[in-house]
Amino acid sequence: MSDLIKIAVDAMGGDGSPKKIIDGIIFNHRSNKENFFKIFGDEEKIKKILTNKISNEFYEIIHTKKVIKSTDSPLEGAKRGKDTSMWLAVQSVKDREADIVISAGNTGALLVVSKLNLKMIENIDKPALSALWPNKQGMSVVLDLGANIECSSKNLLDFSIMGASLYTSLYPNDKPKVALLNIGSEELKGNEIIKETYQLLNEKKSINYDFLGYIEGNHLMDGEVNVIVSDGFTGNVALKTAEGTANFITSELKKTMTNNLLGKISSLLNISNLKKFKKRLDPRLYNGAIFIGLDSPVVKSHGGTDYIGFSNSLDVCHRIVKGNLIKKIKQNI
């Protein structure tokens, strides 16, 4: 057990929990025997799903019936107390009983509970919410996605360093290429904070990443940049727009391929390509946002994902710990 990566799991957060969470653990364990799961939640419900599916040397259940609700405000969630499944899971990372924590529960509450329990990495003022985003050549790390509505140039510089560190942890064979999300690619475009950050990144030559200047929203998927940095307001709007566009394209294509005989024949002839297309846009593949800036890693799984999506976010947890994310951020800062 000492060699296993210890993942603290809030089993009660998100839609369809704990079944979805436990099914995700079982599914993940089939392909990866290097994780140990500390599972926080209702022991009776968890055991019904988990018993005989995984050897008990790979998990431990810490019982609690108290849960932070999805309808709670961040403050209400934190006030529910220190014996909720989310709080106990985060606390286990604080107490060094686990390497990383994951929850599919209330995002705002998870951020507040994490900030109450965990220290910031020295010289970092604000944590950022980051996630993986597909591009033509692979994947990008995008941050901040909503943790900080207003950011200073120092915050954006920190996000660049943390985003590059995260990318290196997840994809150790590729060099991070950082860009600032902006309304134009010219140096004079954007507000004063963006322009100040541009100057800081331009002057701060780093061996850990390349700074490629600005990137516009219509080039996010090109793949020439793999770490995209913005304030939380802009990043969240970009994320939701991309998610909505992907859903629109998928549903419209499905409609076109099934609403008449010609469409049905065409879809049968192109079934292999359509499956590849659908898989590429499947949000479950990119599940798992990361709060970075805290001295322990915290992963947020989408509350509405299914067990496959949750399993994919457990893969993200594994790669973050394996890639020594926190150590890399501290070195690079």
Q: Which domains does the chain have, with CATH numbers?
A: 1-124+293-333 (3.40.718.10), 125-289 (3.40.718.10)
pLDDT at 265: 64
Identity of the residue numbered 140: S
Residue written as tokens 């210890």? 6
Quote the pLDDT of residue 8: 97
Which portions of the chain are predicted below pLDDT 70? 1-2, 256-257, 260-284, 286
Q: Euclidean distance between the first and final Cα of the chain, in Å?
A: 32
pLDDT at 278: 60
> What is the pLDDT at residue 254?
74
Q: Given this model, what pLDDT does residue 236 score?
A: 86
pTM: predicted TM-score of the whole model, two decimal places: 0.85
- Taking alpha carbons only, the member of 290, 280, 211, 218 closest to residue 250 is 280
147 neighbors 128 (Cβ within 8 angstroms): yes
* Res 204: pLDDT: 83
**What tokens does 211 get?**
């700074």
